[in-house]
Structure 1
Amino acid sequence: MKQQRKNKHLLPAILTVLAILSSLLGILPAGSVSAADVTAYPAQAVHFGAYTTNRNLNNAGSAANTQKAAGANSEDWRIDYVSAGVYQIVSLTDGKYLTANGTACTLTAKAADSSQNWNIESVQKDFEGYDLYYKITSVSTGAALTYYQGNNTIGLTAYTGDGAQKWKLNCSGLEGYAANALANGKEKAGTIGGLLGETVFVSTADDLEKQLNTTEPKTIVITADIDMQNKSHTRIRDNKTIVGSYGNKTIYDSQFRTNDTYGAVDDNPSDNIIFRNLNMIAKNVKNRILINIWSSRQIWVDHCTFISYLPSDHTGNGQDEVGKFIWLNTPYESYLDAKDNGRSPDYITISYNTFKNRFWTVAYGTQNSETSRCRTTLMYNWWDECVRRCPQIGNGSGHIYNNYYSGDDSFLPNSC
């Protein structure tokens, strides 16, 4: 699990590898996204999985077909929100739009009519109650996107509920417990955050706080550096993606949380949340946890940079502030939100992040006796000049691989 290094000459090579992997796993450069309204931020690449097969919807040139999942760019699509329940599906290979053409499904340049508008609606949930399979129907014809297994082509026919008309939505680059996977021998849906919601752009702490607290699915794009030090317990509700733009995207001294501070009876912990492409900085407020995942599930933290500018001697002798970058847990029974103590967090992936210059960094567990939940994947992260909780594991399961640790003799990374 650990490969502790003291030779910092290796760090530029590590950064280069991470940059290459970023481009392969869904953090796409602006030039790869053709639509003008999404060039400001890395739109989420999506795979459309064909029911229970190992095949994805594929750009075959002038038409769509399916191919065995291979991580090819031709399998990457973007979902553009048009209105509630209505979307356009765009290939990230060439910027062409999925188009209804009679009983055929073609790929063409953007058009002004409704032939490129699609309804995407959940038709089947997984064993945990998350949306797993969707039907995709043409707004212009009412016919459903259908996979013909005999020749792997795609067509449009009346929806009957057949498996050939059911599709999974999987975020490209998402692996581990937050992804579409088998859990206890049963299929679990992948985390999609605000994928099926409107995209909004925020540049102030007030706007960010407002958008995070809405009940609708949303992709919230950070377009400026935002100081959150005067905010506390900023609530994030279900089905949100918080993503940094290609420009300014730093959030200072956040205290994001996924449940209600006071334990309101009708307010449950939020699920299905994604953080991507953000700079998260601890600067002016000691002992603050930047992202608090309280009793929530289906969480993905990906390609973010966490840095502390707070003073620390890294000795653990009482001089170090006790904040963290990420905390996954249940409330203590003595907390105001104790009603959430019985719901353990679960299905978490923390991938391709940098954690720098803090005594404590990432911890997860529960304040209850449940050990079958709190399943967390930590992969391809870089801990630089951090000391403890890198990560700390409590109740539950840790799926930890290919992380990198660095620091000089004053830093002794460990998982305590």
Structure 2
Amino acid sequence: MLTIDNVWQLENFVKQKGATIGTKLGFVGLGQGGGKIVDAFAGIRNANGNAQYPVLCINTNMGDIQNLQNVDRANRLQLKGEEFEKGAGMDPAKGKKAMAANGEIVFETLNRVMHNTEAIVVVASLGGGTGTGSINMVIDVCADYLGKPVMAIVSLPNSHVDENVNAFEALKELVPKLEEYREDGEGNSYRVLENIVILDNKKIIEEHIEAVEQGSTEVANLSWDRYSNYKVASILHEWNVVTTLESDKTLDAEDFKNKLLFTGGVLTFAKKKINLQSGDLKSENDLINEIVATYRERNVLANGFDYKNDAIAFGINIVMPKNTEKLLNKDTLEKINRQLQEELEGVPVYYGRSTWDSKHALVYTICSLRGLPERAKNLKQESEELLAKQKEREARQSGFAIDGDLSSRQERTSTRVRTGRAAAPANPFATTEEKQVETKSAKKFNPFKE
């Protein structure tokens, strides 16, 4: 069985005969959070132990870079400069300045690591300094000068006044790139940003806590952030492989790339494992309803999408056990397609079916939307509420003022006449006996002697 870091299990179909990478993606991690996410992608290897994706990490803080587990050391780049060497300190302006100051080496390294990719995925955790401050700049450079489609994976912070404000400002600049077109030197038009995947850390933390309380084996001994990183890495990789499996009804790699990934939308993924032996599946309609419901109830990374109004394109791929293909024949697939089209009226649906050696069925969905998840939509309001609470708290604080005069004061005059500063022993904290010994041997203080 293949895993990420010997911790997170990938589905077995990724190593079956004929399975390969559909789209050659390269990942660029910015800052601490972005670096950790792409480190998970760097941990994905094939049956021969070879890395599946080229990965580059860029950060101001060397400590964060050194803590990565899987990224090749030649592909870890520290942004140099005396004012940046200890990190950007949750200051996006400093992160942007650090990237600009190191522009030549950054561009050279991007060219080297990403030269053989079909698309570049820029990854950052919004809220901090380096990733938040530099992500828009890096996306522009990749789109304008590397001549490759650019995607983005970003995470929204758990509620925190400083991080929320930083995330809002970065997202406000980032999202319009989905609808921005530019021309290259030969007059060819290109979209600046092909898609965004949004991870809601607040949602993921709550989900992780609930899973731990329920004793889920999936999250055993995993912190919430590693759980999140493995989630996004595994589902994108499994989607990228499932499009290459042999099938009589294929959603192939080219359709996945051109009809679903490169659509100028926010991408959302869902995944469900269905036990075909379950007594709950008593008819074909039960199976169809279970499959179709996947996108509504099994969203992996964020919640609160308006599928009915915002969907641009929808993809579904069902991986069935080899001995049960008849349960999902072409007629059943068409019924699934029609039900999805009824729910997502006017949205093109791309669907495929594959097989694998398992007792369970797997359902993967992907949807591209011209709309944000609920928390991203409300990030401005959430940030303003946090700022208001901060101001209210500051207004309630007692402060440091000491007002008024004492009503009376007893005057006390020393009878000792001071003729100069007392000569302190070498160790004024020594015991009385030690001071006496020290005083006998000490030379007189001479303030004029060099």
TM-score by length of 2: 0.31
For the pair shown, the structure with the greater C-alpha radius of gyration is 2
Q: Which has the higher contact order (CA 8 A, sep 6+)?
A: 2
Structure with more of its chain in strand, by fraction: 1
Structure with more of its chain in helix, by fraction: 2
